[in-house]
Amino acid sequence: MSTDIAMQTTDYQVGDRTWHLSRVGNDYTPNVTLDVSKFNSGATAEVQTITISGSPTGGSIEVAGQEVAYNAAAADVQDALEEVYGDGNVTVSGSAGGPWTVTFAKSLGDVAALTVDDAGLIGGTVPSAAVSTGTAGVNGHYANGYIPSGTVLGKVTATGLYGPYDSSAGDGRATATGILFADCRVVRQNGTTATKVGSSQLVRGDVRVSKLPFQAGAGAIDSDAKTDLSLIRFEA
């Protein structure tokens, strides 16, 4: 059998439901059946590169709203970006002055391209700065065999099954329907992977966004998903 559609409610040791803030009696968690094929088994880290050209002799750029000197060391760029993405979520390598290679934590999934403002560069021949993406990040939804509670879900229109919410999906999952309530085991002890599993989704309650397992990419919350989930109260 490749289908395990009995509702899973077990709190496994791998689980972390600190995102759930609701008071007793405030929740509503209807049953859902997940289409495991819509979830990714392994994660890929996003890699972007920041390059300054034109040989500036002074000044600075702004990356993701953080000021970075034109000749900054990689460690300084990393410190600046950790102010935005959190400690341990960014690793930066490269020579002083760049190019700087920025590797994001796998848990961040598909990270939007870094914004860069080069108006503060001085000297050189038309100095400028740009960002390029080397590897697009992908969320690993069940890298340890479990789809974690806190994954934002969307409904596949054609099948009525559920997958990770994805604002760019064209199969119905661009509308958020709820938040996976219980950790969902999809890889069995014998190593086989289920094609469908039963669980439940939170559609009414209180949620702490910073504790959700995915902070970007498929399965993560965004402003549109918050609008869709109007019965959930979100805290930072």
pTM of this structure: 0.70
Task: Dig out the tokens for 34 from the structure.
Answer: 């997940």
Poorest-pLDDT segment among 2-16, 40-54, 198-212: 2-16
Cα dihedral value 115, 51, 168, 149, nearest 10:
-80
Between these two residues, 29 and 9, which has the higher pLDDT value?
Answer: 29
Q: Quick check: 107 pLDDT over 90? A: no
* Segments in the chain forming alpha helices (H): 74-85, 223-228
Task: Dig out the tokens for 223 from the structure.
Answer: 């402003």
Q: Quick check: 4 pLDDT over 60? A: no
Q: What is the pLDDT of residues 133-154, one digit of tens each?
A: 999 888 889 988 999 999 999 9
pLDDT at residue 3, rounded to an integer: 52
Q: What is the mean pLDDT of the chain?
A: 91
Q: Quick check: 202 pLDDT over 60? A: yes
pLDDT at residue 205, rounded to an integer: 94
Question: CA of 68: how far to CAs of 46, 76, 130, 134, in Å?
Answer: 21, 8, 13, 21
* φ, ψ of residue 154 in degrees (nearest 5): -140, 160
Q: Quick check: 27 pLDDT over 50? A: yes
Q: What is the pLDDT of residues 51-99, one digit of tens each?
A: 999 999 999 999 999 999 999 999 999 999 999 998 999 999 999 999 9
Poorest-pLDDT segment among 40-44, 144-148, 162-166, 173-177: 40-44
pLDDT at residue 9, rounded to an integer: 46
CA dist 183 and 213 (Å) reads 11
| Residue 1 pLDDT grade (very low, low, confident, very high; cuts 50, 70, 90) | very low
Average pLDDT over residues 194-206: 95
